[in-house]
Amino acid sequence: MIRLLIVDDEVIIRNGLSTVIDWQGLGFTLLTPAASAEEALDRIVEEKPHVILTDIRMAGKSGLDLAQEAHLINPQIETIILTGYDDFKYAQQAIRLGVSDYLLKTSRPEEIIRTVMKAKQHILQRHENARQDYTHRLTYRNRLLERLLTDQVGEDSLIDECARHLPQIQLSPPTACSLQVVIVTTNGWGPQAHIRSRLLFAVDNCLNNLLDCETLLRSDDIALVLRSTTAAEGRTLLKQAASQIRQILKCEMSAAIGMEASHVRDLHKSYNQAIYASSFQGLIDMHDLITYEQVQDRSGGRTVCSLEEEAELARLLQSDGSVELKAWVTNTVSRQLQDPELTPDSLRAFLISIVVSGHRWLERVMRAIGKSDLPSLISAKELPESFRLVTEPAETLFQHLIVIRDAYHKSAAAGPSSYIQQSVAYIQEHLDCNISLHQVAGSVHLHPHHFSEVFKREMGMNYLEFVTRERMRRAEELLTQSPAKISDIAKRVGYEDIKYFGQLFKKHTGKTPSEFRSKM
């Protein structure tokens, strides 16, 4: 609302102007009228009127004196002179003093309304112009800072622009301060996007109040250029600010900091380092502050799950229980997180290898029982983007595996001989072992003779023929996808005698294992 102050030393005029016009209906907040220019001047600083409607001739200071002094206090105040003197000289003087308009006391209410509404429009237009100007300057300033962080800046003209729009960064060499880029992430108010945005905005305001910095508010984090005397002092100040922010806003806050930049042109290096350090948040315990120096030399942990892990995964996917699968996932991921060489990329690759192993197991089982309509699952190409490594790698992996497990059990329960499908899954799980028909029949709680008859009827081949076929198919996959020696591949599919394995493989494919691999 626009605040209006009426000033006149005649009480009848003050009361009349206050009551004859519906100021609230016109969008004004009517302040208590003042009986003198002196009273008005005493109240201007605290009450901050936008429009003053004042008489010229009053006891003490005149309305023109009021207009002049009010303009010094706030050049944006719109002052309207209301007088009984139709004197051109007064009008000239009023205009020179910055008075917005000039009215006679004999003016009708509609004339007063029209004049005051014109002053209101001037105020609103100035506010809109200021808002647009601020928006443009903020957008330009953000683009400059983004350019500093992501590009190698070389143009002196751009450096000069940054000096004007990013005052917290000392840009002119030689630098008498330390500049470091920090990536700040926060949570704790709730998962909703609009709530997270509010929290980021609040943290951004706090950071600017507590530190000498320039910040760039982004959708998921805050990029911050921190200025301090030394890099060590910068880290100390950042920790102190983070502690205060957690206490004030009741939130969680983490920061990843790049190395010190020797010049503003090198800020992009510190930014890339901070981004890399930020990718470790949630994966390693760094007490909410990760520095690039702490992670820069990591070579990466395991990227592929072992054969033992694949076999255990197959067993768990075949099982109905979720608790055992969840425990296995938790333990497997925990072991990876304890690796001192772990990187986000190596962890992501390792988790993807587990999911891919699950996919391949399901495909082998479905293919072995003659089902070509595989369940619709997330493709391997989509997996890297689907892993939320920062917050919950184990839970994300578990959810992927549950989808595979449920797809298997849904398919296994669909046919009249679901226990045959379960036996096929068991065989797939133990192709590297010397598995007998009695073992497989026992896994599905059937008598071996009955199992053998049903298996041949359902699968169109006897048990031994099926196992041999699946071992050869697995050998083809390993020869295609693995650089392992042929002797090792033979053992992986259950054959200690490499010569016998080669004979069976050639009978199955028409090529020796070496010939098959060379054609790939």
Q: Is the pLDDT of residue 95 over 50?
A: yes
| Per-residue pLDDT tens over the stretch 27-56 | 999 999 999 999 999 999 999 999 999 988
Show which of 355, 386, 413 is a domain's final residue. 413
73 and 164 in a single domain? The answer is no
Residue 140 lies in a domain: no
pLDDT at 88 over 90: no
Which position has the higher pLDDT, 439 or 158? 439
| 167-206 pLDDT, tens digit each | 887 655 545 678 999 999 998 898 888 899 999 999 999 9
- Burial zone of 106 (CB within 10 Å; 0-12 exposed, 13-18 middle, 19+ buried): exposed
Determine the average pLDDT of the residues in 299-304: 90
Q: What is the mean pLDDT of residues 481-509?
A: 87
482 located within any domain: yes
Angstrom distance (rounded) from CA 82 to CA 186: 57
Clarify whether residues 276 and 167 are in a common domain: yes
Lowest mean pLDDT across 56-70, 235-249, 436-450: 436-450
CATH of the domain at 13: 3.40.50.2300
371 and 239 in one domain?
no
Q: Are residues 451 and 500 in the same domain?
A: yes
Flag whether 269 is in a domain: yes
Whole-number pLDDT of residue 287 = 62
CATH of the domain at 270: 3.30.70.270
Q: Say if 474 falls within a structural domain.
A: yes
96, pLDDT greater than 70: no
Across the range 440-450, mean pLDDT stands at 84
Query: 187 forms bridges with which residues in the sheet?
Result: 252
Report the chain's mean pLDDT, rounded to a whole number: 85
What confidence tier does 21 reach under pLDDT thresholds 50, 70, 90? very high
Domain assignment present for residue 142? The answer is no
The pLDDT of residue 431 is above 90: no
At 461 the pLDDT is 87
Residues 170 and 273 grouped into a single domain: yes
Number of domains in the chain: 4
Is residue 456 assigned to a domain? Answer: yes
C-alpha 429/C-alpha 433 separation (Å) is 9
Task: Determine contact, residues 206/244, Cβ cutoff 8 Å.
Answer: yes
Last residue of a domain, one of 295, 320, 348: 295
pLDDT at 120: 93
* Domain shared by 105 and 8, yes or no: yes
Distant-in-sequence, close-in-space partners of 244: CB < 8 Å, separation ≥ 6: 206, 210
Nearest-angstrom CA–CA distance, 473 and 459: 16
Q: What is the pLDDT of residue 416?
A: 44
Kindly tell me if the per-residue pLDDT of 157 is higher than 70.
Answer: no
**What was the pLDDT predicted at 446?**
83
Q: Does 419 fall in a domain?
A: no
Of these ranges, 125-134, 162-171, 443-452, the one predicted with the greatest mean pLDDT is: 125-134
What pLDDT score does 413 carry? 59
Distances (CA, A) of 158 to 149, 155, 168, 237, 461: 13, 5, 16, 29, 76
- Of 233 and 416, the structure prediction assigns the larger pLDDT to 233
Model pLDDT for residues 226-262, shown as the tens digit of each residue: 988 888 999 999 999 999 999 999 998 999 999 998 7
Judgement on whether residues 74 and 102 belong to the same structural domain of the protein: yes
Residue 11 lies in a domain: yes
Asked if the model's pLDDT at residue 26 lies above 90, the reply is yes
Kindly report, residue by residue over 261-300, the tens digit of the pLDDT: 877 888 899 999 999 999 888 787 656 889 999 999 999 8
CA distances from 315 to 94, 360, 425 (A): 93, 14, 8
Within this chain, do residues 409 and 458 fall inside the same structural domain, yes or no?
no
Domain containing residue 401: 299-413
pLDDT (0 to 100) of residue 46? 93
Q: How far apart are CA 343 and CA 364, in angstroms?
A: 32
- Cα dist from 397 to 205, 375, 411, 425, 507, whole Å: 36, 18, 22, 21, 40
What is the reported pLDDT for 264? 81
Q: Do residue 106 and residue 160 come from a single domain?
A: no
Residue 317 and residue 409 share a domain: yes
Helix (H), strand (E) counts: the chain: 22, 10
The per-residue pLDDT for range 394-403, each reduced to its tens digit, is 888 898 898 8
- Is 388 a residue whose pLDDT tops 70? no
Q: Are residues 304 and 375 in the same domain?
A: yes
How much is the average pLDDT of 309-335? 88
Residue 374 has pLDDT above 70, yes or no: no
Average pLDDT over residues 423-451: 84
CATH number at residue 510: 1.10.10.60
Distances (CA, A) of 180 to 141, 202, 224, 230, 351: 19, 22, 8, 10, 33
Q: Which of 323, 428, 415 is nearest to 368 (CA)?
A: 428
Give SS3 for 18.
helix
Name the pLDDT band for 8 (thresholds 50, 70, 90). very high
Render pLDDT for 505-514 as a digit per residue (tens, 0 to 9): 888 888 888 8
Whether residues 284 and 328 share a domain: the answer is: no
**Boundary (domain end) residue, out of 239, 261, 295:** 295
pLDDT number for residue 262: 77
